[in-house]
């Protein structure tokens, strides 16, 4: 059940990554084939299964569907299942604290996964998603504060840092007409820091730098490196590892 839920989110990611940069609706408009624009039916939108039954092609125009959709759905289901196992949860006997943590992880994963996908496609980190991530993380931190499990200090510090970078980027965009990629990276780092803390943020940055090095060796062009994508994937990986260490 958890794996299937993850695959549904994985399917949603591909939709969001495609539509958000185009400023299209991601919740009410039905999915469609980007080639023939045919509206997809229920049997066309079952994660993994629909792709396999259609043999990786659109049932209406025969256009080949990129295999990344299948990979992302399977990977997303695996991530959800790994986090569920790491939390040592036993359905239906679920602890409130673990449920809250799992929900916060889902929102973190959704936010970072979509941001990473958009960055990989267009080398642009969506600021609105960072703000959404901070709001969701703020609700979780507020819950922990109410049950006396944490303070609001760390979250507030990173929130203030993000707001400063956000204002600087907004002013810069009005003057130059475009957003600064470096400021977007710094805002993303502030969000990762609010979720994982300063120590794990350092681990995420180091891991992303290692991947950047190998990416540069492959492409020989630093401008083609999607730093936000590498940071996002590193953050999700470290978050799962942290859960295993904490709860297993």
Q: Tens place of pLDDT for every residue, the chain, 248 residues?
A: 999 999 999 888 888 888 888 888 877 777 877 778 778 777 778 888 888 888 888 888 888 888 888 888 999 999 999 999 998 888 777 788 889 999 999 999 999 999 999 998 888 888 899 999 999 999 999 998 888 777 788 899 999 999 999 999 888 888 877 778 889 999 999 999 999 999 999 999 999 999 988 887 877 676 778 889 999 999 999 999 998 888 76
Residues 47 and 101 in one domain: no
Say how many residues make up the chain: 248
- The answer on 158 and 103 residing in a single domain is yes
- Report yes or no on 3 lying in a domain: yes
- What are 71's two structure tokens? 């990979």
**Same-domain pairing of 152 and 43:** no
Q: Are both 161 and 60 inside the same structural domain?
A: no
Residues 50 and 20 in one domain: yes
70 and 3, same domain (yes or no): yes
Domain end marker among 33, 63, 86: 86
Per the structure, the complete domain to which residue 22 belongs is given by 1-86
Residue with tokens 């996964």: 113
Q: Are residues 207 and 136 in the same domain?
A: yes
Residue 2 in contact with residue 84, Cβ under 8 Å? Answer: yes
User: Among 190, 192, 195, 187, which Cα is nearest to 168's?
Assistant: 187
Please check whether residue 4 lies inside any domain of the structure. yes
Flag whether 245 is in a domain: yes
Q: Are 205 and 238 in contact (CB under 8 A)?
A: no
Residues 102 and 209 in one domain: yes
- 191, 154 contact by CB (below 8 A): no
Neighbouring residues of 80: CB distance < 8 A, sequence distance ≥ 6: 2, 3, 5, 6, 9, 106, 109
Domain co-membership, 31 together with 139 = no
Nearest-5° Cα angle at 124, 221 to 73? 95
In a domain, 58, yes or no: yes
Which of residues 51, 86, 121 is at a domain's end? 86
Q: What is the pLDDT of residue 104?
A: 92
């Amino acid at each position: 059940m958890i794996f299937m839920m993850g695959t549904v989110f994985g399917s949603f990611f591909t939709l969001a990554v495609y539509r958000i940069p185009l400023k299209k609706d991601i919740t009410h408009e039905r999915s469609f084939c980007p080639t023939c624009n045919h509206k997809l039916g229920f049997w066309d939108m079952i994660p993994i299964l629909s792709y396999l039954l259609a043999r990786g092609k659109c049932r209406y125009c025969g256009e080949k569907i990129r295999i990344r959709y299948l990979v992302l759905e399977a990977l997303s289901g695996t991530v959800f299942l790994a986090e569920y196992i790491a939390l040592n949860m036993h359905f239906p006997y679920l602890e409130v604290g673990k449920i809250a943590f799992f929900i916060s992880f889902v929102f973190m994963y959704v936010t970072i996964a979509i941001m990473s996908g958009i960055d990989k496609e267009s080398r642009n980190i969506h600021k609105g998603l960072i703000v959404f991530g901070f709001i969701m993380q703020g609700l979780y931190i507020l819950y922990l504060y109410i049950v006396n499990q944490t303070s609001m200090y760390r979250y507030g510090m990173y929130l203030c840092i993000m707001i400063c970078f956000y204002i600087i980027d907004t002013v810069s965009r009005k003057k130059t007409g475009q957003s600064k990629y470096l400021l977007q990276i710094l805002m993303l780092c502030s969000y990762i820091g609010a979720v994982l803390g300063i120590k794990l943020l350092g681990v995420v940055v180091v891991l992303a730098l290692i991947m950047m090095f190998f990416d540069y060796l492959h492409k020989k062009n630093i401008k083609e490196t999607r730093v936000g994508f590498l940071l996002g994937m590193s953050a999700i990986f470290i978050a799962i590892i942290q859960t295993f260490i904490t709860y297993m």
